Amino acid sequence: MTTEKGTSGRGQRELRVRVKTAKGRKLSSTRWLERQLNDPYVQRARREGYRGRAAFKILELDDKFHFLVPGARVVDLGCAPGGWSQVAVARVNALGDRGGKKQGTVLGVDLQEVEPIAGAELHQLDFLSDGADDAVRGWLGGKADVVMSDMAAASSGHKQTDHLRIMALCEAAAYFAFDVLEEGGTFVAKVLAGGAEAELQQLLKQNFRKVAHVKPPASRSDSSEKFVVATGFRGASRRSEDLGEADIGEAERDAAGEE
């Protein structure tokens, strides 16, 4: 591994790391490692104590849509390694250490075991298993203000297969959100472009007042990853089958103004 000097966008000198291809290591693995070592968001995450660069994606989304407010009750699906939950804990005041601000709660769930995060309640669970949604509702003990999902299946190497898998996870998270969100609540989820996202978008437009697709700056430019942010949940009494075309049209106009 070697380093060379470069200039950052802020005019500061910084070191760029070049990784030599080790014996037995694939060139693609070397390139991935080099990209990680030189990624400014990865470097910033280390400096600021976040568990991964994904923390900046939810930070940027919240800076735009303002859903992580003090006192909010948040469910984080697919929370490993914990960056999103770290951000949520700070912004909703889950530790109760911001004087004069309401104290929120953060409940994280993931298939993998996640190292403890102060202020968050974390559970290891396969969200697609039978009864998983009931278990999460039990841990939550009431309604949520925000449901956010960064769930993703292991990459198959086939773009369309990966797209369909992540859309299935996103749809499962959306139906869970319909059951647990307070009226006016927010749903945030990662999606991959590929064609099947239109059906999900229509479903969300029927159940939320505004729906936007956003690619935050922290998402890599060469990635098909985007995030759907649905705000203003209409409430359990106004499920999609009860909505008319006028409501759908209103949601489409609102979303167009946000994208």
Confidence tier at 254 by pLDDT (50, 70, 90): very low
What is residue 70's DSSP assignment? T
Confidence tier at 30 by pLDDT (50, 70, 90): low
Higher pLDDT, residue 191 or 94: 94
Q: Give yes or no: residues 76 and 178 share one domain.
A: yes
Q: Give yes or no: residues 130 and 182 share one domain.
A: yes
12 inside domain: yes
193 inside domain: yes
Task: Give the per-residue pLDDT at 255.
Answer: 36
CATH number at residue 77: 3.40.50.150
> For the chain, how many structural domains are there in total?
2
Q: Give yes or no: residues 133 and 14 share one domain.
A: no
Closest CA to 56 of 220, 205, 203: 220
Task: Return all residues near 7 (Cβ < 8 A) that are at least 6 apart.
Answer: 13, 14
Task: Give the per-residue pLDDT at 245.
Answer: 40
Q: Give yes or no: residues 34 and 56 share one domain.
A: no
Of 67-76, 168-177, 238-247, minimum mean pLDDT range: 238-247
Token pair in block for residue 156: 């198959």
45 inside domain: no
Q: Which of 64, 102, 190, 226 is catalytic?
A: 190
Q: Angle at CA 121, nearest 5°, toward 131 and 191?
A: 65
Mean pLDDT of 20-27: 54
Confidence tier at 209 by pLDDT (50, 70, 90): very high
Task: Give the per-residue pLDDT at 18.
Answer: 54
Helix 27-38 crosses helix 40-48 at what angle (to 10 degrees)? 50
Residue 190 annotated among the catalytic residues of the structure: yes
Cβ–Cβ under 8 Å, residues 88 and 120? yes
Average pLDDT, the chain: 83
Global pTM reads 0.79
- Cα 25 to Cα 51: distance, rounded to the nearest angstrom: 25
Q: Give yes or no: residues 7 and 125 share one domain.
A: no
46 inside domain: no
Could you tell me the residue range of the domain that residue 12 belongs to? 2-38
Share of the chain above pLDDT 90, in %: 60
Confidence tier at 130 by pLDDT (50, 70, 90): very high
3-state secondary structure of 69: coil
Q: Give yes or no: residues 98 and 203 share one domain.
A: yes
Q: Give yes or no: residues 70 and 196 share one domain.
A: yes
Q: Give yes or no: residues 87 and 125 share one domain.
A: yes
Q: Give yes or no: residues 10 and 74 share one domain.
A: no
135-150 pLDDT per residue, tens: 999 999 999 999 999 9
Task: Give the per-residue pLDDT at 153.
Answer: 76
Q: Give yes or no: residues 234 and 134 share one domain.
A: yes
* 11: pLDDT strictly greater than 50: no
170-203 pLDDT per residue, tens: 999 999 999 999 999 999 999 987 766 788 999 9
63 inside domain: yes
Annotated binding-site positions: 82, 84, 110, 126, 150
